[in-house]
A and B are shown apart, each in its own frame.
Chain A
Amino acid sequence: MIELFAQLQRRDRTGADCVADNGICPNWIADNFDRYVSPFWEHVYLTMVSVGLGFAIAFALALLAHRRRWLVGPITQVTGIFYTLPSVAVFFLLLPLTGRGNTTAIVALVAYTLLILFRNVMAGLDNVPAEARDAGRGMGLTARQLLWRVELPLALPEIMAGLRIAVTTTVGLAALAFLAGAGGLGGALFDDINFRSNVLVAGGLAIGLAVVLDLLILALQKAITPWTRAAT
């Protein structure tokens, strides 16, 4: 680890005293902001793809486990192990298999989201009121209609809550993706970890991204679950 950090190249920077002092320099930030644009978009890409794939897998697993309850235990255990493994370690373990680059980072990040997303989809499905399920079945909904028209819509609040947690934690973890050679804001951050202006901009963008994505999902959730806001 330490060796790797030592290998990181320092960017050349020249300028005023503020910069030489590693301070927070508005002028430097204004002049150099464009160098963060591409890492920022890499970061967005890593987050979206990882959460997207993670959701697809976790959702499929949850539907499977919803029908076959005995699968809940094993799936929780396996995804739990993924969740516990330090992602940095996973990056290095995967390097021989997938090489440096996005693939390695995404595989690790996806693995990390699975437990959160799986557990939330399951919790959502489990919280569907039994009487709504019984009434639906009694009125002649097929198992598939019951799932898509009753159970999944009613599970949406929990599912969306899971997505919010997954997205914010993935934004954070993606800051380490540069260790797998996938770029992102983490690369920019560790390039010059002692320069406060750099840390402020790179870190600030990451935090901002997490907040914006979180609010976007929240807004989406409000839009698609109007009944939760109905005044009683």
Chain B
Amino acid sequence: MTTANTAQSEGPSASRQAASLEFRAATKRYPGADRPAVDHLTLEVPAGDICVLVGPSGCGKTTAMRMVNRMNDITEGDILVGGRSVRERDDVELRRDIGYVIQQIGLFPHRTIGENIATVPRLLGWDKRRTTARVEELLDLIGLPREMAGRYPTQLSGGQRQRVGVARALAADPPLMLMDEPFGAIDPINRERLQNEFLRLQAEIRKTVVFVTHDIDEAIKMGDRIAVMQEGGILAQYAPPAELLMNPANEFVEDFVGADRALKRLALQRVRDVNLWTAPLVREGEPVAEARVRAANSEVPYSLVVDDGGRLLGWLTERGLREERVRADLASLTEPVVELDDVLRDALSDLLAHEVQYGPVIDHQGRVVGVLSIELLSHVIATPPEAE
């Protein structure tokens, strides 16, 4: 018991401060190539942010990422991690201090999951007890049972292996993480799950992350800031996702983010972020005439029946309107019901899929807080996002 307690005090509670990252005209030239792979890349990533490097293949995004831990040497310019130039540091010591995740994961097939996660702690000479405790803590963090520590990578699914890859990169609690298309080889359903898990994890651990992808949707989802790179290793635009979608810096960025960039912006906002329409609410036993008046005065032409706790029962039906008083059994609970935490794009897709104009919005307790409509969403699309 004492063992676990001492070990835990060395866990995330004692986690290290994230480091800022700065590219200063960092350039990579391969001998014999007629133009640089990365051309005077200058950008700053504040500590604790996810910076996504995105662009078509051959734009130098992976090279740029690999220059940070000197897997690719810098030809000109400099890169600073926590204000310190990476060129001045011993490359082996530098790499042990930076988390590294690649698309093919690269777990050691001859090492168990536990041994894989323990790679960097062992290189750093941690004692056995501390290492074991850290491995268990990380397995908990990525949601794998502790028994998995004794398995070999071939015995895991692709998604589980990718989680282990992330855990291995986090093992020594590095202030900076490099992730090269970490979810690129995973099927779409599991990719989405892993992305969400990582965002949840990141909200907890707050690392500085350089995340490379060729998928603009993934970039928008994952990035606090997005660096769009174009062929020749040139930075086309560096901006937060919403700004990138609203004001593409040039034609290349505009093409790259796609014609549906207005729609993509909906993926950045949740239902709780918009001013919902007020729902005309009625309770059982109230006069139907009253319901008619409320609906007439509302933006929504139909009444919603709720119980005494304000929880949604359904729309008041045509039949219900012919009665004297509101009857709960004449409320129809038609799909979709939108939740406050839903992403706007998903909510829109729900409304369209059910061919309806309006969707009641409920909170965690199931209480009606308003109504989302197609009209409201088209208004959101047409309006530039407020500056944060």
Say yes or no for B382: interface residue by CB 8 A criterion.
no
Cα of A19 to Cα of B331 in the assembled complex, Å: 108
With a CB–CB cut-off of 8 A, which chain A residues contact B165?
135
Say yes or no for A141: interface residue by CB 8 A criterion.
yes
B96 touches A139 (CB 8 A): yes
Chain B interface: which of A35-43, A106-114, A203-211, A224-232? A224-232
A132 touches B155 (CB 8 A): no
The 6 A-B residue pairs whose C-beta atoms are closest, nearest first, are: A135-B106, A140-B96, A131-B104, A140-B95, A131-B106, A138-B100
> Closest approach, in angstroms, between the C-beta of B15 and any C-beta of chain A?
19
A135-B102 contact given A140-B120, A232-B154, CB 8 Å threshold: yes
A136 touches B106 (CB 8 A): yes
With a CB–CB cut-off of 8 A, which chain A residues contact B102?
131, 134-135, 138
Count of inter-chain pairs, beta carbons less than 8 A: 78
Chain A interface, DSSP helix/strand/loop, else mixed: helix
Say yes or no for B71: interface residue by CB 8 A criterion.
yes
Interface residues of B in 162-195 (CB under 8 A from A): 165, 168-169, 178
With a CB–CB cut-off of 8 A, which chain A residues contact B105?
131, 135
Cα of A154 to Cα of B152 in the assembled complex, Å: 13
Chain B interface, DSSP helix/strand/loop, else mixed: mixed
Interface residues of B in 84-105 (CB under 8 A from A): 92-97, 100, 102, 104-105
User: What 18 additional pairs, Cβ within 8 angstroms, besides A132-B106, A135-B165, A139-B123?
Assistant: A131-B104, A134-B104, A134-B106, A135-B106, A136-B119, A137-B71, A138-B100, A140-B94, A140-B97, A140-B120, A141-B119, A141-B123, A150-B110, A154-B110, A156-B110, A225-B110, A227-B109, A227-B154
A227 touches B106 (CB 8 A): no
A138-B69 contact given A131-B105, A153-B110, CB 8 Å threshold: yes
Say yes or no for B151: interface residue by CB 8 A criterion.
yes
Interface residues of A in 28-64 (CB under 8 A from B): none
With a CB–CB cut-off of 8 A, which chain B residues contact A150?
108, 110
A230 touches B151 (CB 8 A): yes
List the B residue with the shortest CB-CB distance to A142: B92
0/1 string, B242-275, CB within 8 A of A gives 1:
0000000000000000000000000000000000
Say yes or no for B107: interface residue by CB 8 A criterion.
yes
B110 touches A227 (CB 8 A): yes
With a CB–CB cut-off of 8 A, which chain B residues contact A129?
104, 106, 109
A227 touches B120 (CB 8 A): no
Cα of A147 to Cα of B249 in the assembled complex, Å: 47
> Closest approach, in angstroms, between the C-beta of B135 and any C-beta of chain A?
15
List the A residue with the shortest CB-CB distance to B122: A149
B95 touches A227 (CB 8 A): no
With a CB–CB cut-off of 8 A, which chain B residues contact A156?
110
Interface centre among B94, B96, B100, B155 (most CB of A within 10 A): B100
0/1 string, B360-371, CB within 8 A of A gives 1:
000000000000
A139 touches B119 (CB 8 A): yes
Cα of A216 to Cα of B155 in the assembled complex, Å: 28
Cα of A231 to Cα of B154 in the assembled complex, Å: 8
With a CB–CB cut-off of 8 A, which chain A residues contact B92?
140-142
Say yes or no for A27: interface residue by CB 8 A criterion.
no
List the A residue with the shortest CB-CB distance to B100: A138
Say yes or no for A145: interface residue by CB 8 A criterion.
yes
0/1 string, B17-37, CB within 8 A of A gives 1:
000000000000000000000
List the B residue with the shortest CB-CB distance to A232: B154
With a CB–CB cut-off of 8 A, which chain A residues contact B107?
132, 135
Cα of A134 to Cα of B95 in the assembled complex, Å: 12
Cα of A74 to Cα of B213 in the assembled complex, Å: 43
